């Protein structure tokens, strides 16, 4: 199938899904009401709970869930063939991922903006709440520990991206303060900020700015981790309107502009061919076609496609991390319930389309020209095979394929190679940074909820955990635990400043399965919430079972099966975490099975009563 046709069919399919299945979910299942008083109004505090227009919340939500996930996952998983990857992205995002994000958002909206972990304690029981919060804490700590290293890696690969990413922060603060004081709309200032950032992409690697880029490129991974965690602390304790909202809105505009450029690049390459792979050979414009095989079930060195395809592609199809964004930050900002469909369901479909373009960049874009050994330029299947000859699940190969393939699309539009690569590097690093600071704010909520669970305020505010119930104490704890985890050197290596910062990589192999398991547990909470209100749940049962079985299956294979298993390698830490995780999962499932037959139509104790506004 031609790449342009794939992009068109996917785009049209996502639009149809939003206006049909998404509309049905909002109107008939969740019964979104314009009269409902959202937490942003009921608990308005000017810091976390802030009434915000749906366009701005969409920008925050999308930038937070996107990160590098919908890039790295599809870029790795295409080794099994572009058809399996594309089918999982398309149908997964429509029937599983978008339903998951919308469900978590709505349930949080109707429970004071609490996270799904906190809500689990009411709709299931207190033991499940404790177990869920522990799993959430571990998952987010891994994200915080690893994403500083991810951003450092991106900056080393694409140093021209450093200045544009850094300059985005003060611009966002100025915009946030300006808009908050004057009550202006965010669109025009954000567009101007985006234009300034793109100017730094074009001219930011020359002169003084170029010197800054190449100096910061040499920083160690641990230096970047410390700096970025410090930034995350500041970003997560500031009111959302100061930095979080304007920065995420700028990133959302960046994403939309890049998506438009990539689609235009696919069209241009389809009509006129790719840019000449060698300057001076304008007559040899390579033809755009899928260079990746449709199916490649047994690539060299790769694990089995089933179940690993479904945990390799998370963001872009379904990601458990999204339930934290939906119920942690977005639910505290929406000012109208009907906006939840646009933010929750719509943002996930947009991410699905981004994953589609990633598949096209890695499956067809790399075929437009890739540098081989000895200065040779490879095109077509040769280029794809050169990059995907053997299994490589690391960040570098995946980002290399995406940036190279997408830059080829941009070059088909006449954009110079250096600018195209820098633009895509900024794109990747900006979204990784957004995920990092949002994750820090989410971890603060989780720490506060855990502290409330262990020692509620009624027990006295003078106890030790009183500090962790506060905003600053919980955030500092989140940052310190992530920094300590990151500081651990790789297995078998002594501690040094050069080796530090890579500790997150120790638990990273287990994150994919844990992340998808989190999605299954989030579905469990949404299912019980609806079941207790006698609302149909048939559309949730299949995705929930899928996301409880597949991650456990993959984790079992990783931990215990084969010569490359963690057990065979003597990696007792990963084996131990896998065993504990699966025991917690099994415990929660047993609790749910025991409770399920008894609670249909039975509203949970302590349920939050909806508040309605007399005006629409």
> Are the C-beta atoms of residues 534 and 332 closer than 8 Å to each other?
no
Residues 325-350: tens digit of each pLDDT: 999 889 999 999 999 999 999 999 99
The model's confidence at residue 585, banded by pLDDT at 50, 70 and 90, is: confident
By mean pLDDT, which of 185-194, 315-324, 352-361 is the weakest? 185-194
Strand, helix or coil at 334? strand
* Better pLDDT: 394 or 606: 606
Residues 364-371, mean pLDDT to the nearest whole number: 82
| Contact predicate 98/15, CB 8 Å | no
For 24, the token pair is: 């049905």
| CA-closest candidate to residue 443, choices 211, 235, 137, 10 | 137
Q: Which residue has the higher pLDDT, 525 or 393?
A: 525
CB 447 within 8 A of CB 477: yes
DSSP codes joined into one string, 279-329: TT-TT-PPPP---S-S--SS-TT---HHHHHHHHS-TTT--THHHHHHHHT
Mean per-residue pLDDT over the chain, rounded = 85
Q: Where in the chain are the domains?
A: 3-278+286-293+307-342+349-598
Range among 185-199, 285-299, 541-555, 559-573 rated most confident: 541-555
Q: How far apart are CA 120 and CA 127, in angstroms?
A: 9
- Judge whether residue 461 has pLDDT over 70: no
Q: Is 417 exposed, middle or buried (0-12, 13-18, 19+ CB in 10 A)?
A: middle
| Residue 197 vs residue 76, higher pLDDT | 76
Q: How far apart are CA 383 and CA 389, in angstroms?
A: 10
Q: In whole angstroms, give the CA distance from residue 61 to residue 339.
A: 12
Q: What pLDDT is attached to residue 471?
A: 86
List, for residues 2-41, the tens digit of each pLDDT value: 999 999 999 999 999 999 999 999 999 999 999 999 999 9
Greatest Cα pair distance, the chain, in angstroms, is 78
Whole-number Å distance between alpha carbons of 70 and 35? 35
* Whole-structure pTM value: 0.90
Q: What is the pLDDT of residue 41?
A: 93
Highest-confidence range of 56-60, 219-223, 264-268, by mean pLDDT? Answer: 264-268
What's the whole-number mean pLDDT along residues 456-469? Answer: 66
Confidence label for 127 from pLDDT (cuts 50, 70 and 90): confident
Residue with tokens 């955990």: 465
3-class secondary structure, 243: coil
- Inter-residue long-range contacts of 200-206, CB under 8 Å, 24+ positions, other chains counted: 200/163, 200/164, 200/167, 201/160, 201/161, 201/164, 201/419, 201/422, 201/423, 201/426, 202/419, 202/422, 204/160, 204/163, 204/164, 204/422, 205/159, 205/160, 205/163, 205/418, 205/422
Cβ atoms < 10 Å from Cβ of 49: 21
Interatomic CA distance for residues 412 and 265, integer angstroms: 6
132 pLDDT band, cuts 50/70/90, is confident
Q: Summarize pLDDT for 555-573 with one digit per residue, the tens.
A: 999 999 888 888 998 888 8
Mean pLDDT of all residues in 384-398: 75
- Tokens linked to 383: 């280029």
Return the pLDDT at 130: 79
Model confidence at 85: pLDDT above 70: yes
């Amino acid at each position: 199938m031609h790449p342009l046709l794939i992009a068109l069919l996917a785009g049209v399919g996502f639009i149809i899904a939003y206006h049909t299945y998404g509309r049905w979910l909002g109107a008939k299942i969740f019964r979104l009401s314009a009269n409902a008083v959202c937490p942003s109004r009921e608990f308005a505090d000017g810091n976390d709970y802030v009434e915000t227009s749906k366009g701005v919340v969409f920008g925050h939500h999308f930038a937070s869930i996107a990160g590098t996930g919908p890039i790295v996952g599809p870029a790795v998983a295409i080794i099994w063939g572009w058809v399996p990857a594309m089918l999982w992205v398309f149908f997964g995002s429509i029937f599983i991922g978008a339903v998951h994000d919308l469900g978590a958002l709505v349930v949080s909206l109707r429970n004071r903006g609490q996270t799904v972990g906190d809500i689990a304690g009411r709709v299931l029981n207190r033991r499940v709440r404790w177990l869920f919060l522990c799993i959430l804490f571990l998952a987010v700590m891994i994200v915080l520990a690893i994403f500083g290293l991810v951003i450092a890696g991106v900056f080393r690969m694409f140093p021209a991206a450093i200045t544009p990413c850094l300059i985005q922060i003060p611009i966002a603060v100025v915009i946030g303060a300006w808009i908050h004081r004057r009550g202006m709309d965010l669109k025009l200032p954000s567009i101007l900020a985006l234009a300034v950032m793109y100017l730094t992409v074009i001219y930011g690697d020359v002169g003084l700015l170029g010197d800054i880029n190449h100096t910061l490129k040499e920083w160690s991974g641990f230096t970047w981790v410390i700096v970025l965690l410090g930034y995350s602390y500041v970003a997560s304790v500031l009111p959302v309107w100061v930095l979080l909202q304007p920065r995420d809105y700028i990133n959302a505009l960046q994403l939309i502009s890049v998506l438009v450029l990539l689609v235009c690049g696919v069209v241009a390459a389809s009509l006129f061919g790719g840019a000449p792979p060698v300057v001076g050979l304008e007559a040899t414009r390579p033809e755009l076609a899928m260079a990746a095989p449709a199916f490649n079930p047994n690539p060299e060195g790769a694990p089995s496609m089933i179940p690993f395809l479904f945990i390799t592609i998370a963001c872009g199809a379904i990601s458990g991390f999204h339930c934290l964004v939906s119920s942690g930050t977005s639910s505290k900002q929406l000012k109208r319930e009907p906006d939840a469909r646009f933010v929750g369901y719509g943002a996930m479909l947009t991410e699905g389309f981004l994953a589609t373009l990633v598949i096209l960049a890695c499956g067809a874009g790399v075929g437009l020209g890739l540098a081989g050994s000895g200065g040779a330029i490879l095109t077509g299947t040769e280029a794809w095979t050169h990059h995907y000859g053997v299994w490589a699940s690391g960040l570098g190969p995946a980002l290399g394929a995406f940036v190279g393939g997408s830059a080829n699309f941009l070059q088909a539009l006449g954009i110079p190679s250096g600018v195209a690569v820098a633009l895509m590097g900024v794109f990747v690093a900006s979204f990784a940074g957004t995920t990092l600071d949002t994750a820090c704010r989410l971890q603060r909520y989780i720490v506060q909820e855990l502290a409330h669970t262990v020692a509620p305020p009624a027990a006295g505010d003078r106890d030790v955990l009183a500090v962790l119930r506060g905003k600053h104490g919980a955030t500092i704890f989140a940052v310190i635990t992530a920094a300590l985890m990151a500081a651990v050197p790789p297995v078998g290596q002594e501690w040094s400043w050069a080796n530090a910062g890579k500790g997150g990589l120790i638990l990273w192999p287990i994150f994919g399965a844990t992340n998808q398991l989190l999605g299954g547990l989030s579905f469990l909470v949404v299912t019980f919430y609806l079941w207790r209100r006698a609302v149909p749940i048939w559309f949730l049962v299949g995705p929930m079972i899928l996301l409880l079985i597949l991650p456990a299956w993959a984790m079992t294979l990783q931990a215990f099966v084969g010569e490359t298993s963690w057990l065979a390698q003597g990696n007792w830490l990963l084996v131990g975490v896998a065993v504990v995780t699966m025991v917690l999962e099994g415990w929660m499932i047993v609790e749910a099975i025991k409770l399920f037959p008894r609670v249909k139509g039975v509203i949970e104790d302590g349920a939050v009563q909806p508040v309605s506004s007399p005006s629409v």
